[in-house]
Structure 1
Amino acid sequence: MFEVFGFDIYIIACLFFVALIAGFIDSIAGGGGMITIPSLLLAGASPLETLATNKLQSSFGSFSAARYFYNKGYINLKESLPNIIIVFLLSGAGTISVQFIDTNALQKFLPFLIMAFGIYFLFSPQVNNEDRASHKRLFILALCAIGFYDGFFGPGTGSFFLLALIMLAGFNITKSLAQAKLYNFSTNLASVLFFAFSGNMLFGIGLIMALGQFIGANLGAKMALKYGVKIIKPLIVLVSFIMSIKLIYENIIVG
């Protein structure tokens, strides 16, 4: 069999298309990591290689979606810069902390938190395309917590950013999705910089998947703007429940 970067060419092709699909879904509803992480593990990457490589490729997806939303006028970089810096620094702190703290308790609690998030999106009348009043101090605190969490653990980060932006920043669902992608790119970038020096990042595989992520995220962002809340809300609910069931199975039933 023909190999590239130590992996069979067919496996690499599969990882490219997996990343494309994950990027598409993640740019609309989050949760792309639940597709790419198992795929990297099945391809033969070690757990640390998987985490590092996943951050590399997902950063291209979040960048692609954020770039598209910015070009369409949904992101104001000047206003967002302080928040970008906050989540970047806290994500870096989380990436360092995860090396010293046991995450088992968090793994068992997380699926129920994500399921509650999905239920909120399913039934809340606030999830629409209308802006509302903001709660700035609570929003900043939420950004700090989510930024740290993404570097520390990660699953569901995009969903948590969305929830904070809708409930606390007062943004409508489309603006929230755009901002969430911007903040997610910042947290991903911080983790990539720390992982890059760990020796666990599979740069070749990661960059091939990054191309798939970039294409998929751009397509997903276009779809989100075209159909708005009609596609964003149901997909977020679906992804949240699937992610919750997957995490419950892996960390509670099997683990």
Structure 2
Amino acid sequence: MDLNFTWELLLLFFFVAILAGFIDAIAGGGGLICIPVLLLAQIPPLNALATNKIQGMAGSLTASLTMIKKRVVNPRQIVFAAIMSFVGAAIGTIIVHFINVSVLDIFIPIVLILIGLYFLLVPNMGDIEKKPRISEKSFNTIVVPSIGFYDGVLGPGTGSFFSLANIALRGQQIITATGHAKVLNFASNIASVIVFALSGKVLWVVGGLMIIGQIIGAYLGSLMVINKGGKLIRPLVVIMCFLMVARYLYDKF
């Protein structure tokens, strides 16, 4: 399915994807930028979500490859976690068709607020690597698929959840935690993309153009993470968490 759009609107989608990719690579929450623009263009909600997901996947892939190339992430160390993230998201995407997700309406804003406050009130968090609080096996088999499951069901703040979990539970330095979050988020995105693509909900012309924009933005954002580190990541995570809460509450109430 593809709708007819003017060149001006297609260019808007392109530049919005660049901005979203840049923000997503640093702090997450790129969908907060893309989805409202797609909806304002009169794209049906399900098609907007599907198109946002596929262009977001391209951004998370670019960010992941950049982090791996710059040796922030060792792919051998994260491959199992990525598989578990994919499995969790696949299950979540299937389950979402059979459950009432309204039970999460209160849970999601509270968790996002707590993440924002944690990054805000613990300024030295992630400055140095610390001793893990749980084992790698427990983290990969319980925490990672749980966050992946959440991404399959809903998705807002998934990147922030992965980053915080890597820092708080595995003791990772903030740049490493952000790099790992990108890889895990990419893996969870794949599951949703497969479902949306098979159901024919993706607008391929719009999605293809936004993929190019996402790649550009994600690459630039990843370089900023590597060069600026926590000084850039923390304030953006805080801002995006509270913006996601505001947008989520606005949509629900």
Q: Does 1:124 align with 2:125?
A: no
- How much has 1:138 moved relative to structure 2? 4.7
Q: Could you state the TM-score of these two structures normalised by the residue count of structure 1?
A: 0.94
Percent of residue pairs identical? 42
CA displacement, residues 197-220 of structure 1 (integer Å, 9 cap, x when unaligned): 101111111110011111001101
Which runs of no fewer than 5 residues in structure 1 stay unpaired?
none
Corresponding residue number in structure 2 for 1:95: 93
Q: Name the amino acid aligned to 2:87.
A: L
Q: Does 1:139 align with 2:121?
A: no
Q: Name the amino acid aligned to 2:202.
A: M
User: Secondary structure of 1:7's match?
Assistant: coil
- Preserved CA contact (<8 Å) 2:58 2:215: yes
- Relative to structure 2, which stretch is displaced further, 195-204 or 5-14? 5-14
User: Equivalent residues in 2 for 1:51-90 (5 A)?
Assistant: 51-90=49-88
Which runs of no fewer than 5 residues in structure 2 stay unpaired?
none
Q: Name the amino acid aligned to 1:9.
A: W
**Aligned partners of 1:14 and 1:32: how far apart in 2?**
15
- How much has 1:78 moved relative to structure 2? 1.1
- Preserved CA contact (<8 Å) 2:22 2:217: yes
Corresponding residue number in structure 1 for 2:113: 115
Q: What's the Cα RMSD here?
A: 1.3
- Relative to structure 2, which stretch is displaced further, 133-142 or 92-101? 133-142
Corresponding residue number in structure 1 for 2:165: 164
- Preserved CA contact (<8 Å) 2:86 2:191: yes
User: Equivalent residues in 2 for 1:16-35 (5 A)?
Assistant: 16-35=14-33
Q: Does 1:250 align with 2:251?
A: yes
- How much has 1:51 moved relative to structure 2? 1.4
Residues matched between the structures, number: 249
Q: Name the amino acid aligned to 1:237.
A: V
Q: Does 1:202 align with 2:203?
A: yes
**Aligned partners of 2:93 and 2:193: how far apart in 1?**
9
- How much has 1:107 moved relative to structure 2? 2.6
The alpha-carbon distance between structure 1 residues 41 and 67, as it changes in their structure 2 partners (threshold 3 A), is same
Q: Name the amino acid aligned to 1:225.
A: I
Q: Could you state the TM-score of these two structures normalised by the residue count of structure 2?
A: 0.95
